[in-house]
Amino acid sequence: MAEMPSIDTWLREAKADPSFRGCGMYLVHNGTVRETPKAEVRGVETDGVRPGDKVAGMVFSYDAEKVAAAVEETRALDGIGYVRVWLNSGELAVGDDIMLVLIGGDIRPRVIDALQHLVGTIKNTCVVEEELSE
């Protein structure tokens, strides 16, 4: 398990980047391991912990090349000037940080859409999450 970077440091670095001139908004996503199983909160069948049971943790991994491609794809979206991603790995406990995503862009709707797009792409195509039961 890695230590999550400082959001304050990331924001300072983003505002020092030449892209800051076009960024009117920065949005941060901090994903964490939750106790409620994915099958319960999403209402879908998974190979993980069953609805009603509790998650004790998760084994998390990712494909770095796929993540890099997703970041570049997001950077190319209209109005997006800054994208940064950190992902954890290994065996994580409830409350541990899974990911940190920072996106800067010109206007709120574009930044929100870009964040939704990037986090969705990462979660759906770049990572493997194995929930562990208590």
Rounded Cα–Cα distance for residues 29 and 37 (Å)? 20
Rounded Cα–Cα distance for residues 71 and 119 (Å)? 10
| Sign of CA pseudo-dihedral 134, 86, 68, 42 | positive
Residue ranges and CATH numbers for the domains of the chain are 7-133 (3.90.1170.40)
Q: In the beta sheet, which residues pair with residue 8?
A: none
Q: Which tokens hold the place of 15?
A: 């505002």
From first to last of the 134 residues of the chain, give the pLDDT tens digit: 789 999 999 999 999 999 999 999 999 999 999 999 888 888 877 777 888 889 999 999 999 999 999 999 999 999 999 999 999 999 999 999 999 999 999 999 999 999 999 999 999 999 999 999 88
Rounded Cα–Cα distance for residues 107 and 25 (Å)? 6
Q: pTM here?
A: 0.93
